[in-house]
Structure 1
Amino acid sequence: MYHLKFKGKHYEIGYKWGKKLFENNFLLLQNIPFTLTKEHKDFAKKSEVYYNKFFPEVLEEIRGVADGQNTNYTLILSFLLSMYCIIPSCNCSCLVLKNDKNIILGRNSDFLTKLEKLYINCIYKLSNNYSFIGNSTSFIEIEDGINEFGLAVGFTSIYPIVIDYGFNSGMIIRMILEKCKNVDEGIELLNKIPIASSQTFLLADISGEIALVECNCKKIEVYKNFNENSYFISTNIFQSESMKKYNKVDYDNWFSQEKYQTLEKFLNKNFKICNVEEIKKLLAGENGFMCQYDRKTGKDTVWSSIYDLKSKKIWRVEGNPKRKKFIEEDRFKF
């Protein structure tokens, strides 16, 4: 996993990083594991209109990367904006809980082993938006993270059977972390922007608000905690009755239901007394299937994150938590 630290405005961040990669003979477009088609380009062009309206800063960063790489802005845009939509990826699990002593968001990122050396942990110290730390399988986009105000968010992608133009999962998390201070602001943003991809979002803030959002281009379902003790979980299947019709049947979603059942069984019994150490064990598969992949299949848990909002600590495993230990992150304070 690469560790990156960015500071400044979006364009200069993108340009410096793109140029540094270029000077080290690393060309981003040559490391995309598929061919960009007319469909990707058309989708990005029509979605770009909404990015210009709601999140122009990230387009500036993408243009900076393209300029630093001496490459085509449209092609990089086509790759990034079509992620999780035309290029589905449905493999992760996430949980959030609140009890008398803890507010915790945890997430396993499950993906392809052949790309694991390219995964990124990054800190953004932005001069014009909120600063944050996050992790991603794709540059610029973020899949879980926390910002300077103590708003944590993680997603699980769901195979899209309906797609429209707009924002994808990784860009939505970027925008939430950069523009929202708490769970309510995050939900307000989700209700305002056009959503392209299918996914769940789990959110938690330092005040103790937690929420689950299941959404796609057709519908948004929001579930918030109403009790002192509560939890939400998500994998790669919509669970609410109103969203189940958007699940793709007979698709390889990487043991999504098994992981959901492991989380549900453990948290239903233990969430009122659960702490960080118990969540570490849960994500490491000590209570049922979570990360016990056969690496020979090319699949594995490639990182695991825990955001401990009460203690203001971040824990991360760079690899499979069944085989590696969680390490405390001390470079970012919230």
Structure 2
Amino acid sequence: MQRQKHLVFRTVHEPQLGEKWQDLFHLHWSAYERWYLTETERERPSYLACFNALNRHMPELVPTYQRLCALAGGGDLPSRMLSLYRPPPYITGCSQAVLANGQDNLLVRNYDYPPELCEGTILSTCWNGRRVIAMSDCLWGVLDGINEQGLTVSLSFGGRRVVGDGFGAPIILRYILEFCDTTEQAAEVLARVPTHMAYNITVCDAHGHYVTAMIGPDRAALIKRIPMATNHQKKIEWYAHALASETLIRERQLAILVDDEDTDEERLVSAFFLPPLFRSDYRRGLGTIYTAVYHPNQGRAEYHWADHSIKVSFEVFEETALEISYHSHAGVPH
């Protein structure tokens, strides 16, 4: 018997926070509430701890956070969850790479995760005077995205079990897109703001400058001029996850591609639709949910599936909804 998982992707344009975001909150809150209380509520930080942490490390984001809390009804639990301070741990797969060679400048990524846990919202906003297009997570965080200055970001799990005192990476990426213009500025944020888990963050800007930051709660961020990341940091530390996710195989494939001077945009993007970069293990939560392509110099974003695509930009952003089905037995999206 074939079993399918379905996910609806929505493009939502709302420059200033309002009813559209509020509708998204009501749509997803019950699921996020269950996730946030996976552990006992006592293990989650208090509202005061959440607010103080946000105000200390990302103060420019506080007014936006307060507007979000108000739209969410002002309740204690939603406000704590929306801070993304010390959230429950979660694990993704993901492959991401930058091609910046003087002819091409783009960031490509595959997001590997259980379809039923992906929000599927592509948000177009201008909350702090800077336009942002991003794949949303945790209602306002960022899995990957671009701002109107051409700064692009993408996250992947860092392949380490350590959990500590810090923020979920999606809110750190939101902070970067809201207030940074260049890769150098983004690197400063990634070195300064604490994270609760290990992540690999790849950043590229309109000048073709790029870095990958290997961040974690127990050691200083390692920021290098590396154009790619999969799911380990320097060396394998969680062998079971590394084997299941094939992180080394995917890293090797990306290295071959970006180091080859004949690789152009078409060749790199095409590789993300094929194994080993494209993964079909949906039953274990490691299947590819979407492929994103960001063009820093044109302010364009593309989201691709086997038979569908959504293309948006800061000049043209149409609201739409697209349902994608994933075959759990074979993992081929329709």
Q: TM-score, normalised by structure 1?
A: 0.79
Q: 1:77 is matched with which residue?
A: 80
Number of aligned residue pairs: give it: 304
Q: 1:52 is matched with which residue?
A: 55
Structure 1 position 114 matched with structure 2 position 103: no
Structure 1 position 199 matched with structure 2 position 188: no
Q: 1:309 is matched with which residue?
A: 296
Indicate conservation of the 8 Å contact 1:98/1:104, yes or no: yes
Q: 2:328 is matched with which residue?
A: none
Deviation at 1:104, TM superposition (A): 1.4
Q: Aligned equivalents of 1:80 and 1:171: distance in 2?
A: 8
Per-residue deviation, residues 176-214 of structure 1 (Å, max 9, x unmatched): 111111011111122222333211111111112111111
Q: Aligned equivalents of 2:245 and 2:46: distance in 1?
A: 27
Q: 1:330 is matched with which residue?
A: 313
Q: Aligned equivalents of 1:61 and 1:123: distance in 2?
A: 15
Structure 1 position 251 matched with structure 2 position 241: yes
Q: Aligned equivalents of 2:36 and 2:50: distance in 1?
A: 19
Q: TM-score, normalised by structure 2?
A: 0.79
Q: Aligned equivalents of 2:174 and 2:92: distance in 1?
A: 19
Deviation at 1:59, TM superposition (A): 4.7
Structure 1 position 16 matched with structure 2 position 19: yes
Moved more, 179-188 or 57-66: 57-66
User: Equivalent of 1:290, from 270, 277, 298?
Assistant: 277
Per-residue deviation, residues 218-259 of structure 1 (Å, max 9, x unmatched): 1211112xxxxxx62111111x2xxx37x3232365332332
* Higher relative contact order (Cα pairs below 8 Å, separated by 6+ residues): 2
Q: 1:213 is matched with which residue?
A: 213
Q: Which runs of 5+ in 2 are unaligned?
A: 1-8, 317-334
Q: 2:229 is matched with which residue?
A: 234
Query: RMSD across aligned C-alpha pairs, in angstroms?
Result: 2.9
SS of match in other structure, 1:212: strand
Q: Aligned equivalents of 1:69 and 1:78: distance in 2?
A: 11
Indicate conservation of the 8 Å contact 1:18/1:69, yes or no: no
AA paired with 1:54? H
SS of match in other structure, 1:219: strand
SS of match in other structure, 2:35: coil
Indicate conservation of the 8 Å contact 2:211/2:227, yes or no: yes
AA paired with 1:265? I
| Map 1:84-103 → 2, pairs under 5 A | 86-103=88-105
Q: Aligned equivalents of 1:249 and 1:139: distance in 2?
A: 32
AA paired with 1:119? G
Q: Aligned equivalents of 1:311 and 1:257: distance in 2?
A: 32
Indicate conservation of the 8 Å contact 2:98/2:105, yes or no: yes
SS of match in other structure, 1:208: coil
Indicate conservation of the 8 Å contact 1:40/1:86, yes or no: no
Structure 1 position 278 matched with structure 2 position 267: yes
1:171/1:144 Cα in 2 relative to 1: closer, same or farther (>3 Å)?
same
Per-residue deviation, residues 41-60 of structure 1 (Å, max 9, x unmatched): 22876454221123245454
Deviation at 1:311, TM superposition (A): 4.7
Q: Aligned equivalents of 1:150 and 1:21: distance in 2?
A: 26
Indicate conservation of the 8 Å contact 1:146/1:307, yes or no: yes
Q: Aligned equivalents of 2:297 and 2:31: distance in 1?
A: 43
Deviation at 1:122, TM superposition (A): 0.5
Indicate conservation of the 8 Å contact 1:40/1:79, yes or no: no
Q: 1:124 is matched with which residue?
A: 125
Per-residue deviation, residues 60-91 of structure 1 (Å, max 9, x unmatched): 444444443436233452376257x6322221
SS of match in other structure, 1:26: helix
AA paired with 1:255? E
Q: Which runs of 5+ in 1 are unaligned?
A: 225-230
Q: 2:320 is matched with which residue?
A: none
User: Equivalent of 2:13, from 5, 26, 42?
Assistant: 5
Q: Aligned equivalents of 1:143 and 1:27: distance in 2?
A: 16
Q: 1:228 is matched with which residue?
A: none
Indicate conservation of the 8 Å contact 1:21/1:69, yes or no: no
Q: Aligned equivalents of 2:12 and 2:223: distance in 1?
A: 33
1:49/1:57 Cα in 2 relative to 1: closer, same or farther (>3 Å)?
same
Deviation at 1:114, TM superposition (A): 2.2
Q: Aligned equivalents of 1:165 and 1:45: distance in 2?
A: 15
Deviation at 1:17, TM superposition (A): 4.0
Q: Aligned equivalents of 1:193 and 1:88: distance in 2?
A: 19
Indicate conservation of the 8 Å contact 2:299/2:313, yes or no: no
